[in-house]
Amino acid sequence: MSAALPLPAAAPAAFSLADYEQAARQRLDAATWARVFGAAADEHTAQANRADWAALRLLPRVLRAGAGGHTRVHLLGREWPTPLLAAPMAGLGALHPGGDLALARACAAQGAGLVVSERCGVDIETLAQAVRAEPGRGPLLVQITWHPDRGWMRQWLARIAAAGFDAVVLSVDAPVQGVRDAERRVGPAPIPPCPNLQDRPPLRPDPAAGLCGGWGALAPSWDALAQCLADSPLPLWLKGVLHPDDARQAAALGAAGVIVSNHGGRVLDTAVSTAWALPRVVDALGDALPVAVDGGLRRGTDVLKALALGARAVLIGRPLAAALAVGGALAAAHALRLLRDELEAALLLTGTPHPAAACRDLIAVDGAPLP
Amino acid sequence: MSAALPLPAAAPAAFSLADYEQAARQRLDAATWARVFGAAADEHTAQANRADWAALRLLPRVLRAGAGGHTRVHLLGREWPTPLLAAPMAGLGALHPGGDLALARACAAQGAGLVVSERCGVDIETLAQAVRAEPGRGPLLVQITWHPDRGWMRQWLARIAAAGFDAVVLSVDAPVQGVRDAERRVGPAPIPPCPNLQDRPPLRPDPAAGLCGGWGALAPSWDALAQCLADSPLPLWLKGVLHPDDARQAAALGAAGVIVSNHGGRVLDTAVSTAWALPRVVDALGDALPVAVDGGLRRGTDVLKALALGARAVLIGRPLAAALAVGGALAAAHALRLLRDELEAALLLTGTPHPAAACRDLIAVDGAPLP
Amino acid sequence: MSAALPLPAAAPAAFSLADYEQAARQRLDAATWARVFGAAADEHTAQANRADWAALRLLPRVLRAGAGGHTRVHLLGREWPTPLLAAPMAGLGALHPGGDLALARACAAQGAGLVVSERCGVDIETLAQAVRAEPGRGPLLVQITWHPDRGWMRQWLARIAAAGFDAVVLSVDAPVQGVRDAERRVGPAPIPPCPNLQDRPPLRPDPAAGLCGGWGALAPSWDALAQCLADSPLPLWLKGVLHPDDARQAAALGAAGVIVSNHGGRVLDTAVSTAWALPRVVDALGDALPVAVDGGLRRGTDVLKALALGARAVLIGRPLAAALAVGGALAAAHALRLLRDELEAALLLTGTPHPAAACRDLIAVDGAPLP
Amino acid sequence: MSAALPLPAAAPAAFSLADYEQAARQRLDAATWARVFGAAADEHTAQANRADWAALRLLPRVLRAGAGGHTRVHLLGREWPTPLLAAPMAGLGALHPGGDLALARACAAQGAGLVVSERCGVDIETLAQAVRAEPGRGPLLVQITWHPDRGWMRQWLARIAAAGFDAVVLSVDAPVQGVRDAERRVGPAPIPPCPNLQDRPPLRPDPAAGLCGGWGALAPSWDALAQCLADSPLPLWLKGVLHPDDARQAAALGAAGVIVSNHGGRVLDTAVSTAWALPRVVDALGDALPVAVDGGLRRGTDVLKALALGARAVLIGRPLAAALAVGGALAAAHALRLLRDELEAALLLTGTPHPAAACRDLIAVDGAPLP
């Protein structure tokens, strides 16, 4: 079904995103693998993210297809080719030389959006320039974290706006790094330098306050969010929301959107999966705010399920990192193409003409075989 | 318990349908195995089909047996020896020379019906002729797909009626092929030529409309079904229905029956299992239409459960393909005999005198060990 | 905890019933293993029998122990040392020379009752004589199947009463043998001759009536039960009941008790487990009839759970066959002693002074971790 | 995240409590391993203890961190550095020379409390003296069992009070040893001598009363608890409570607290897990009594979940025994530090400023992915 995109000669045949993850495991050193593909503690949440999407059962409709089917979505005041975006990932340069730009080009070529990490290996202006002019590109955002120095934050938000991004994403789910046993076991992986934050003042938690006291004092609060919203020229999304009440609060304060995420299971192990949280956040928000989601989506049917549960867009992380590691931009584009083809097949096979038509009736609510 | 049907000398001993699937795996090349026995994507639905039948728990009655027990069923205005039918499968010639006729003869010999695939390797007239005169045969149907050329469809429906089939089955669950990773991994399997559709105009989806736009424009709609119902001299069943509302709509338009099916898990992975969908479709239809089911039935107890949940007949696919591959007509007949014997034992052991007496009280609704 | 019963020199150390089953597997030929330890079809029910007892969670009480704790139970108008009985098993002579008498002696020595199979390898008079005089023995019953020749049945029931049994047990769950793939795969095991039924007229099902028609005509009905109840000088229990309505009907006709059983999963695969059926049958009967249960009980905690769910006694089958195969009477007695010791520990550790004090509050109804 | 505590040279790298258990298995002989790390029968409860904590899903809040976060808790009228306590364990000397004192020092160094076993290898006065003066230590308790000689019990309780303990813990869940197949299989492990109970009169159960009658007569009752409460100069907690009604009864009689415990799955297999029992006991007690819990807690997130379900403190057993076996006091302190760091991270990542702020809303009640 997928077009025969030429892969680099040494690349293995890949027919699904899982194939890329398996191939990347063969190629990467243990430390880099653990940094990118490992998760927190016993990795229950990372596994539940994948398993819970797969476990949702689709209840397809027949005889509803027709001319005019498409994958386009509305977001940030515009229409985009697909609901797919690349998730923010730091250190892509360790997977492929110039990995950030390679991923950006792959996304633009496949109509997928891109959320650039503030810790990417290229200055954000260069990256924005490479993408903005591409016809058929998806939305372009940059993901940031909070810093207590409000002046510096204001500058940083202004710089992002000036670079031509469509919106900014504030991550709020990792005030401290998770318990990364996998990484600690194999030792630190070299992380490529990041040119964007060199002037940011360092954070120095009070060692006498203990771990939660010290880092807690430096963590963002709802007031911090209010400041960012006031200081950002661009619409600002909140990333890392799982509790419906937090989503409501974000809406009340003026956020432009919410990304349901548990950081790919990388910070708080045994947190709820994003498939569990998404419909609850969507119900809490109603039409107040658009919602996106990431974490464990690996198939076109997973994307369709997220749309059916109310997501406007989905973010794809590790599988694109894996494709990058396997074959650079071309492989990343191929991975996105595979996913897009799978999504188109899923739309057609469930009688869903386009993403906005996906509704919750597509999901079989009760797993029990008997009424 | 099963009669000692002689198997071909080289055939392995088989005591259940699973034995045939295992033996076929040893004999078939990887590409043919993947084409026939593979399923879509991660094969969740193909596995759930089997697991959900097995997971249903029977609550047998005692001291209810008696003289006169039998396996006969009413369907299409007649009584037939058993509720078993062979499911439509293309390319049986790749499993056994003359596979379509071999399977047809096996079915007739065991009182099982047959749903011939339009893509079978023999013209349907020859096939109908070989079966119709057999005493004790089951119902004879042909499975078709929709084509936008109404004139050609009308001819095709007329030709089927003229050949002497009992009814026609329109598949509606595969407007596009599924995501068949397993097949793509091993490469294409040669499919034997099909003599029935040589005059059918080719389908040419608009390449500019994308996968779902292009194939969607060529897919059947409810209007298409209405046309077929108007144009078919024979009763027409709909195959591939999972949603109760679609079943209701089929009844409203005049379909003669509904086959609950997810195409053996071959098109939309993570679709609900047929054991899940069957009772809901039956409840939606009440007495309006007879319902058949396929997907994952491997044991006589599975067949009994389908009957108890309201199915009038069940279709068996891959296990018969496996038996064909192992030992031709004789093995296929043996497989049907095994299943029929198991069904007879299940009827007797649950105090169910005949298929129509199977009711939902036979199924233990709540898996919890305590009231 | 268990007394140091001397085992035969060659016997392996066994600390639980499971140890005996494992040891027996090493010693028995494949055909005998399959005949005794195999089950029907895919053995779902045989596995569920064990798993469902194990899965029930106990909610023990503290500070309730005290002097006077014991394992005695009332049954058939008398008090017996324990609620344990050996289940009826044919062909024990293939496991150990003189296996039936060996098992009988082991039961008597450990205060366990015995349900002799009518197909045992010794005449029932000899067996009864060997047990009846033993001080501290448990109840002594014989298990029979129905035969359409009422005159012969009347003689057989009279002979059982004359031999001095305490009651008779009519099996009603196997009007036809189950689908025993495991046995068919390895071929028939030699079954030792049975001296008890040599004068019983053979059953000759009508070959033209099919499996369920032919055997169904020879199967017992509720009328047959009424005849047996009228003809039996001894109290008659019904064995093989799973449906609450069948239990009610047995009570209405005058049966003396009901044994909840699925024949150890040997006849109808995917039938409900006995842990699932027991409380439902008990609730249906109220105080009308005593209930016993078999199938999958392997631990003292399993026995306690059965008592808590309302069973008056439990039957143990395969584990005693295994012990017999491993070390004859001594090993069988040791296995019963292990189970009895485990039961005593379970009583003490849950604050249950004796079997009749076990109530349903001991079972944690809801497996969910949160209220 | 965890401080770089120096481990003994030969100690393996350990990044979680599970690492210590794995390393200990390599170092200990089979008998000692079975004695300390084995559990009752088939170890269902020991496994459920761990699995049920892990299976609870956290629903974290964002943007709630702030200055002043800490791990302090109130207990026994004082504030302590952490909610962690070492569980009572006998025979620690077999794991490390002077194991009891080593564990005591590790706890004091990490702000963890200690529940000394009455069967420890050092006299309780020495142990209390070593801990009481440590700044930043946690609560210090001694765990006892009941003895029918009230005079001796009164002396023993007075001696504990005189030694300077903060409270005493009466174990009530093991009136008889559990069915320890694992231990019986490998044979007895040498247990180091215990200096504390040398003057305690031996228990001699009546051999004619059977296991449950004999040991039952020597087991504690609610009257025994009332005596202990009357005779103890120190507050007395009850350990081994699972049933809400038993917790209520303990409160009514004047106990100072309740420890929800199933003895680590070592006595009654298939008893409910402590994660299952805790919220039910907490709900039964309301504010009447503080509740602690042990059994299967291995991660900081497990500790947070216990706090969220209403526990005031948690006891950690086998993991500390494992660390002791691997590297003595330093390793035990490191293990406690790992757990404390994980707890701090979990507090921060869920927006919980301190243990008393953890509430049930942190736990996702329904595992189903859809509302």
**Secondary structure of D108-151 as H, E, C letters:** HHCCCEEEEECCCCCCHHHHHHHHHCCCCCCCEEEEECCCCCHH
Mean pLDDT to the nearest integer, D125-150: 96
Residue B210 to residue A71, Cβ atoms within 8 A: yes
Average pLDDT, stretch D81-103?
A: 97
Dist CA B65 CA B81 (whole Å): 19
Q: Is D271's CB within 8 Å of C58's CB?
A: yes
Taking residues A237-260, what's their average pLDDT?
A: 98
For the cut 70, the answer to whether the pLDDT of residue B7 exceeds it is: no
Please give the pLDDT value at position A8. Answer: 67
According to DSSP, residue A89 is labeled -
3-state SS class at A293: strand
Integer Rg of chain C from CA: 20
pLDDT of res. D337: 97
Region A329-345 average pLDDT:
97
- With 0-12 / 13-18 / 19 or more C-beta atoms within 10 angstroms meaning exposed / middle / buried, residue A193 is exposed
Residue of chain B whose Cα is closest to the Cα of A53: B270
Q: B5 and chain C: CB distance < 8 Å anywhere? A: no
Residue A313 contacts residue A140 (beta carbons within 8 Å) = no
A70 touches chain B (CB under 8 A): yes
Q: Model confidence over A141-194: pLDDT tens digits?
A: 999 999 999 999 999 999 999 999 999 999 999 988 889 999 999 998 988 899
Closest residue in chain C to residue D274, using alpha carbons only: C369
Tell me the pLDDT tens digit for each residue of A106-145: 999 999 999 999 999 999 999 999 999 999 999 999 999 9
Residue A13 scores a pLDDT above 60: yes
Query: What 3-state DSSP class applies to C241?
Result: strand
Work out the burial of residue A55: count CB atoms within 10 Å of its CB; fewer than 13 is exposed, 13-18 middle, 19 or more buried. middle
A238 vs C78: CA distance, rounded Å: 74
Looking at the predicted structure, is the pLDDT value of residue D371 above 70? Answer: no
Of D285, D286, D288, D259, nearest to D274 by C-alpha is: D259
Q: What six digits make up the tokens of B242? A: 């999972």
Domains of chain D, residue spans: 17-199+215-369
**Range A56-60 average pLDDT:** 97
Note whether D190 and D175 are within 8 A (CB). Answer: no
Q: Do B62 and C241 lie within an 8 Å CB cutoff?
A: yes
Residue to test with chain D: of A47, A179, A203, most D Cβ within 10 A: A179
- pLDDT given for residue B188 in this prediction: 87
Tell me what percent of the residues of chain B surpass a pLDDT of 70. 95
- Rounded Cα–Cα distance for residues B83 and B314 (Å): 6
Residue B181 pLDDT > 50: yes
Contact between residue A275 and residue A308 where contact means Cβ atoms under 8 Å apart: no
Amino acid at B176: V
The structure tokens listed for D214 are 């004999």
Cα gap B47→C262, rounded to integer Å: 27
ipTM: 0.95
Chains B and D touch (3+ CB pairs under 8 A): no
CA distance A319 to chain B (A): 16
Residues with Cβ < 8 Å from B134, sequence gap 6 or more?
B105, B108, B109
Instruction: Quickly state the pLDDT bin for D9 (edges 50, 70, 90).
Output: low
A331-340, B216-225, C2-11, C20-29, range with the lowest pLDDT: C2-11
Fold of A17-199+215-369: TIM Barrel (3.20.20)
Residues counted in chain A: 371
H-helix or E-strand spanning residue C74:
strand C73-75
> Mean of the pLDDT values across residues B206-235?
94
Q: How many helices (H) and strands (E) does chain C have?
A: 13, 12
For residue B136, give Cα distances in angstroms to B328, B333, D156.
20, 14, 89
User: Higher pLDDT residue, A212 or C273?
Assistant: C273
Better-scored residue on pLDDT, D152 or B369: D152
Which pLDDT belongs to residue C4?
Answer: 43
**Helix (H, G, I), strand (E, B), or coil: what is residue D17?**
helix
Residue B367 is predicted with a pLDDT of 53
Give CA–CA dist B75/B312, Å, rounded.
Answer: 7
Give the pLDDT of residue B4: 44
For chain C, how long is the longest CA-to-CA vector? 67
Q: In whole angstroms, what is the distance from residue B121 CA to residue B118 CA?
A: 9
Q: In chain A, count H helices and then E strands.
A: 13, 12
User: What pTM does this model have?
Assistant: 0.96
Q: For D352, which residue in chain A has the nearest alpha carbon?
A: A212
Size of interface B-C (CB pairs under 8 A): 148
- Bridge partner list, D170: D144, D238
Distance of CA B225 to the CA centre of its chain: 20
CB-CB under 8 Å, A370 with B363: yes
Number of CB atoms found within 10 A of residue D118's CB? 20
Q: Do A211 and D346 touch (CB under 8 A)?
A: no
> Chains touching chain B at 3 or more Cβ pairs under 8 angstroms?
A, C
Query: Is B226 an interface residue toward A (CB < 8 Å)?
Result: no
Report the percent of chain A where pLDDT is more than 90: 89
Separation between Cα atoms, residue C10 and residue C26, nearest integer Å = 13
Mean pLDDT of B248-258: 98
Considering Cα of A123, then A128, then A134, then A136, what sign does the dihedral take? positive
The mean predicted confidence, pLDDT, of chain A is 94
CA angle B186/B192/B195 to nearest 5° reads 150
Residue C216 contacts B, CB cutoff 8 Å: yes
Say whether D54 and A41 touch across the interface (CB within 8 A). no
Contact B113, B80 (CB under 8 A): yes
pLDDT at B8: 67
Output the pLDDT for position C365: 81
List chains adjacent to chain D, taking adjacency as at least 3 C-beta pairs closer than 8 Å: A, C
| Ordered per-residue pLDDT tens for chain C, 371 residues | 344 455 666 667 899 999 999 999 999 999 999 999 999 999 999 999 999 999 999 999 999 977 889 999 999 999 999 999 999 999 999 999 999 999 999 999 999 999 999 999 999 999 999 999 999 999 999 999 999 999 999 999 999 999 999 999 999 999 888 899 999 999 989 888 999 999 999 999 998 888 888 999 999 999 999 999 999 999 999 999 999 999 999 999 999 999 999 999 999 999 999 999 999 999 999 999 999 999 999 999 999 999 999 999 999 999 999 999 999 999 999 999 999 999 999 999 999 999 999 999 999 987 555 54
Task: Give me the DSSP letters along A94-126.
Answer: GTSTTHHHHHHHHHHHTT-EEEEETT-SS-HHH
**Would you say D322 and D343 are in contact if contact means Cβ atoms under 8 Å apart?**
no
For residue D370, report the phi and psi dihedrals to the nearest 5 degrees.
Answer: -125, 145
Instruction: Report the alpha-carbon angle C76-C79-C83, nearest 5.
Output: 85
Question: Cβ neighbours of residue D149 under 8 Å, at least 6 residues apart?
Answer: D200, D201
Instruction: Show which residues of B are catalytic.
Output: 263
Alpha carbons A57 and A40: distance in angstroms, whole number:
28
Given a cut of 50, is residue B356 above it in pLDDT?
yes
- Report chain B residues whose CB lies below 8 A from the CB of C238: 62
Residue A210 — pLDDT band, cuts 50, 70, 90?
Answer: confident
pLDDT score at A254: 98
Least confident of A236-245, B215-224, D176-185, D250-259: D176-185
User: Considering only CB atoms, which chain A residues are within 8 Å of D69?
Assistant: 209-210, 212-213, 216
Q: How confident is the model over D16-24, as a mean pLDDT? A: 97
3-state secondary structure chain B: CCCCCCCCCCCCCCCCHHHHHHHHHHHCCHHHHHHHHCCCCCCHHHHHHHHHHHHCEECCCCCCCCCCCCCCEEECCEEECCCEEECCCCCHHHCCCCHHHHHHHHHHHCCCEEEEECCCCCCHHHHHHHHHCCCCCCCEEEEECCCCCHHHHHHHHHHHHHHCCCEEEEECCCCCCCCCHHHHHHCCCCCCCCCCCCCCCCCCCCHHHHHHHHHHHCCCCHHHHHHHHHHCCCCEEEEEECCHHHHHHHHHHCCCEEEECCHHHCCCCCECCHHHHHHHHHHHHCCCCCEEEECCCCCHHHHHHHHHCCCCEEEECHHHHHHHHHHHHHHHHHHHHHHHHHHHHHHHHCCCCCHHHCCHHHEECCCCCCC
Per-residue pLDDT band for D8 (boundaries 50, 70, 90) equals low
Distance, in Å, from the CA atom of C220 to the CA atom of C175, rounded to the nearest integer, reads: 7
Distance CA B254, CA D39 (A): 65
Pick from C50, C162, C147, C164: which is nearest to C104 by CA? C164
3-state secondary structure of D171: strand
Spatial distance between the Cα atoms of B214 and B204, rounded to a whole number of angstroms: 9
> A240-249, A298-307, D57-66: which has the minimum mean pLDDT?
D57-66
Stretch 168-207 of chain C: residues touching chain B, C-beta under 8 Å: 172-179, 181, 184-185
Name which of C114, C187, C218, C118 is nearest C159 in CA terms: C118
Is the pLDDT reported for residue A1 higher than 50? no
Close Cβ partners of A129 (under 8 Å, ≥ 6 residues apart): A163, A164
CA gap A272, D350 in Å, rounded: 12
Looking at every residue in chain D, the average pLDDT score rounds to 94
d(CA C109, CA B171): 68
Closest CA to C291 of C253, C248, C321, C320: C248
Q: Measured between CB atoms, does A246 come within 8 Å of chain D?
A: yes
* Cβ atoms D147, D153 nearer than 8 A: yes
Q: Are C106 and C336 within 8 A, CB to CB?
A: yes
Q: Is C153 helix (H, G, I), strand (E, B) or coil?
A: helix
Interface-testing mutation among C349, C352, C366, with chain D (most D C-beta atoms within 10 A): C349
Is D265 at the interface with chain C, CB within 8 A?
no
Closest C-alpha among D259, D317, D331 to residue D39: D317
Residue with tokens 């009038």: B312
pLDDT of residue B9: 64
pLDDT value for A369: 52
Q: pLDDT class for B27, splitting at 50, 70, 90?
A: very high
Quote the CA–CA distance of C17 and C1 in Å, as a whole number: 15
Query: Lowest-pLDDT range, B1-5, B242-246, D197-201?
Result: B1-5
- Report CB contact under 8 Å: C15, D267: no
CA distance to partner chain B, nearest, from residue C352 (Å): 20
With 90 as the cut, is the pLDDT of residue D106 above it?
A: yes
Residue B303 vs residues A367, B295, C39, C104: alpha-carbon distances, Å: 21, 11, 20, 42
